[in-house]
């Protein structure tokens, strides 16, 4: 089978196409023939700077395809099932930049009928991250109505995680305010379903959010705490939560002690890799339910323009994500 691999940390030129034997699933594992893979910032960051415990790595945490072999003891999946993957390259060398990947059954989720592989390949990192961020406060599961009556501020609503957070929060019934840095991104955030969009480069974010939520927002989903912590602390309500998942714009932040304890604030950091497995299972269930309900889409009309590359051009796909392309980078691996 084809695999795009790297054997040393470095620029995207370390990625190269090789031929490898088709892997066999062990007990509790399934093999998936990939149709589509999704590329996320984590893929290029590990390749470029974080390194790996393995001699050879085929990157890619996200993807969607068809189950084509079952390991011993797997009973809740069948050959032929259409599925989406999460954490595909976590603690294993071969992720989704391959024709076929072997995965623990717990990380393989059935794709609801009629849902495209494009959607399936976008769910793993972005939607699971968004789910955990949205369930960091008073709401612990997402379903229609669970966030009714709450207001969420999603920083960066045109980003991949931001887009997923907006779509999931709207589905769960929240009022969603989001920030962007341009008119183009504002249009995308609206297309994702955001009720209020604030351009943080031209508007007073605190004043704009206060207009929507005079008593403060219940939850902030934050991509850039280093830059936005001051705003977040000002706009969040008493007993609110600030959930942060990235270090865009800086590696550290400081916060006013009295003001934050006086507001009974909660700060929730999160990362998909080591997320408690029960919380992960909840995310897989709820995200799949949102998708099945037709509440989660990809493409420009859903605020997430798609950029497609064939597997052999994975290096260009990594570069596009590293360069901050707006939307979702997908890898076409095989025919639907």
DSSP 126: I
Residues near 202 by Cβ (< 8 Å), separated by ≥ 6? none
Candidate list 6, 94, 117, 245; residue touching ligand NAP; CB under 6 A: 245
Among 16-24, 71-79, 241-249, 253-261, the segment contacting ligand NAP (CB under 6 A): 241-249
Residues paired with 152 in a beta bridge: 176, 219
The binding track of 56-85 with respect to ligand NAP, each residue x by CB under 6 A or -, is ------------------------------
Q: Comparing C-alpha atoms, which of 92, 7, 66, 87 is closest to residue 280?
A: 87
326 vs 118: CA distance, rounded Å: 16
**In whole angstroms, how close is the CB of 178 to ligand NAP at the nearest point?**
9
Residue of 87, 76, 71 lying closest to 24 (CA atoms): 71
Min dist CB 273 to ligand NAP, Å, is: 7
Give the one residue of 271, 293, 294, 308 binding ligand NAP; rule: CB under 6 A: 271
Interface residue with ligand NAP among 58, 180, 242, 265 (CB under 6 A) is 180
Helix axes 205-212, 225-235, angle to 10 degrees: 40
Answer yes or no whether residue 177 interacts with ligand NAP by CB under 6 A: no
Q: What is the dihedral of CA 256, 260, 262, 266, to 10 degrees?
A: -160
- Angstrom distance (rounded) from CA 86 to CA 103: 9
User: For ligand NAP, which residue has the nearest CB?
Assistant: 159
| Nearer Cβ to ligand NAP (104/162) | 162
Q: 40 or 100, CB closer to ligand NAP? A: 40
Q: Is residue 224 within the footprint of ligand NAP (CB under 6 A)?
A: yes
The helix/strand/coil state of 280 is helix
Q: Answer whether 96's CB lies under 8 Å from 134's CB.
A: no
Note whether 320 binds ligand NAP by CB under 6 A.
no
Nearer Cβ to ligand NAP (56/199): 199
Which token pair is 291?
């998708």
From CA 145, how far away is CA 291, in angstroms rounded?
Answer: 16
Tell me: does residue 136 bind ligand NAP (CB under 6 A).
Answer: no
> Of all helices (H) and strands (E), which one includes residue 303?
none
CB of 227 to ligand NAP, least distance (A): 4
- Residue 59 Cβ, how far from ligand NAP at the closest point, in Å? 13
Residue 179 as a binder of ligand NAP (CB under 6 A): the answer is yes
Residues 96-115 that bind ligand NAP (CB under 6 A): none
Q: Which residues bind ligand NAP (CB under 6 A)?
A: 40-42, 125-126, 129, 155-156, 158-162, 179-181, 185, 200, 223-224, 227-228, 245-246, 248-249, 270-272, 324
């Amino acid at each position: 089978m084809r695999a795009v691999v790297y054997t040393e940390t470095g620029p995207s030129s370390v990625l190269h196409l090789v031929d490898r034997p088709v892997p066999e699933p062990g007990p509790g594992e399934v093999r998936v023939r990939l149709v589509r893979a999704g590329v996320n910032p984590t893929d290029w960051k590990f390749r470029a700077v974080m390194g790996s415990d393995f001699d050879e790595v085929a990157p890619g945490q996200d993807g969607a395809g068809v189950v084509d072999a079952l390991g011993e003891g797997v009973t809740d999946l069948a050959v032929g099932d259409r599925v989406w993957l999460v954490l595909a390259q976590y603690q294993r060398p071969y992720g989704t930049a391959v024709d076929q990947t072997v995965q623990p059954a717990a990380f393989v989720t059935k794709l609801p009928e009629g849902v495209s592989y494009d959607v399936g390949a976008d769910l793993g990192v972005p939607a699971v991250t968004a789910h955990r961020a949205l369930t960091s406060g008073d709401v612990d599961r997402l379903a229609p109505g669970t966030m009714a009556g709450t207001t969420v501020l999603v920083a960066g609503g045109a980003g991949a995680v931001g887009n997923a957070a907006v779509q999931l929060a709207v589905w769960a019934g929240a009022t969603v305010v989001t920030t962007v840095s341009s008119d183009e991104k504002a249009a995308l955030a609206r297309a994702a379903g955001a009720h209020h969009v604030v351009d943080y480069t031209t508007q007073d974010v605190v004043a704009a959010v206060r207009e929507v939520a005079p008593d403060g927002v219940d939850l902030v989903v934050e991509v850039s705490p280093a830059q936005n912590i001051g705003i977040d602390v000002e706009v969040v309500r008493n007993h609110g939560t600030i959930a942060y998942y990235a270090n865009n714009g800086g590696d550290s932040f400081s916060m006013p002690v009295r003001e934050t304890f006086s507001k009974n604030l909660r700060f929730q950091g999160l990362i998909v890799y080591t997320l408690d497995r029960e919380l992960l299972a909840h995310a897989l269930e709820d995200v799949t339910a949102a998708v099945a309900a037709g509440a989660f889409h990809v493409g420009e009309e859903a605020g997430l323009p798609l950029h497609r590359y064939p597997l052999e051009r994975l290096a260009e796909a990594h570069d596009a994500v590293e360069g901050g392309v707006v939307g979702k980078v997908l890898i076409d691996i095989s025919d639907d």
